[in-house]
Amino acid sequence: MNRYPTAEALLADAASASGYDDFGPGDFREGLGVLLDSLERDGDLAAETDAAVVADLRRRLVNRLEVEAWYKEHPEIDDVAVHGPVDIIGLPRTGTTALGDMLSLDPQFRCLTGWEQHQPVPPPVFGQEHRDPRREAFAHRQEQLFDQRQAMHIVEIDATMEDTDTLGMAFHGQQMTLPVAGYRAWWRRADLTETYAYHRRVVKLLGSRKPPELWLFKAPHHKFHVEALVRAYPDIRFVMTHRDPAKVVPSYTSLVSTVFPAAAGERDLHALGAEVSEHLREGMERAIEQRARVGEDRFLDVHHRDLVRDPQGTVRKIYEWLGLELTPDTARTIFTWQEKHAMGAAGTHRYTAEQFGLTKDRIRADYDFYIRRFDVAVEG
């Protein structure tokens, strides 16, 4: 007997809960099936996590049903314009979040926030976001994070956030919130053309009552499927961040290990370290290949060392490349935020490569192609 419900059972459950039966376009059923199979085969979760895991999958299916119902009631959404986006990508732990948070302070950007992704219907209304109960609930959940997680990862409620939930609704996200290595191996090589077409569908809905200025995305995992993104967003431009992989890989593994639900017994952190390192390495290989095909002129490379040493100069360089005005008021807001949130301000994220079965030398050897391609500085 399977531990988790079948895809068919989850679909029926979501339809019953919502009262709708149209799940919308795309190949999400394939991703849902692969994910459930990987949970059965690869998962190491404690039994008490099952209800929450299944509820999250059901929530995303209900979201899909509600999106389609909203489109039927508001067909004019099909005509909503999507400007941009500007997309911050790269390896995780390279400054993508800090950079995304800073640019999110500029009102000329339309951010893809976490709270609106969590429950996209009804779409947020311009000027009423701060009173939206979904935002308040999201803020409350963030307040519950323990101090160490805050030191690992800054969360700004109104900043652009990784599209984990939007891709999760298509069941074609990298799913770094669950121990599903088999699913991730499938996802790395999957064609996400239909996924990002659906992604654009959700983005249009979210922008329908909150005017879509220039969209700002931030998602390190976008590097795996750059060509699919360009097909969905022909005007997209990428800011790609870089850092010594010997710092990135163990730091990200440490973060992932705290995000996963509790394990049944002791989690194999060495296996997790090996998987994360391989996952990120393959993502960077694919990014280099695909950016050459979609055009290097779409990319601006930003190094973590420059963002730390000269944040103001780095931000101004980005604005110049984008052809956008950085007004004095916006610059003051951004740089005040940066000074408050400089590295280490929220505490120190402590980890070692060795606790995940890794070594700095081995990581750098595996990522030598990346270090040489982008002249990445090796950190002491």
Cα(182)–Cα(157) distance, rounded to whole angstroms? 32
Give every CB contact of residue 77 below 8 A, 6+ residues apart in sequence: 70, 71, 204, 205, 208
Domains delineated in the chain: 80-374 (3.40.50.300)
Q: Of all residues in the chain, what percent carry a pLDDT higher than 90?
A: 89
Question: Per the structure block, which two tokens stand in for 84?
Answer: 């941009």
Angle, CA of 193, 74 and 124, to the nearest 5°: 80
Taking residues 22-39, what's their average pLDDT? 98
Q: What helix, strand, coil percent values describe the chain, rounded to 5?
A: 60, 10, 30
pTM for this model (two decimals): 0.94
Residue 241: strand pairing partners: 90, 302
Neighbours of 139 (CB within 10 A): 14
Condensed to tens digits (0 to 9), the pLDDT of residues 108-154 reads 999 999 999 999 999 999 999 889 999 999 888 777 765 445 545 46
Mean pLDDT, residues 1-16 taken together: 96
Q: Write out pLDDT tens, residues 253-312.
A: 999 999 999 999 999 999 999 999 999 999 999 999 999 999 999 999 999 999 999 999
Beta sheet of 109-111, edge-to-edge order? 109-111, 214-218, 83-90, 237-242, 299-303
Helix count (H) and strand count (E) of the chain? 18, 5
pLDDT of 349:
66
Residue 212, pLDDT score = 66
Secondary structure class of 85 (helix, strand, coil): strand
Longest dimension (CA), the chain: 63
Burial of 213 (0-12, 13-18, 19+ CB in 10 A): middle
324: three-class secondary structure by DSSP: coil
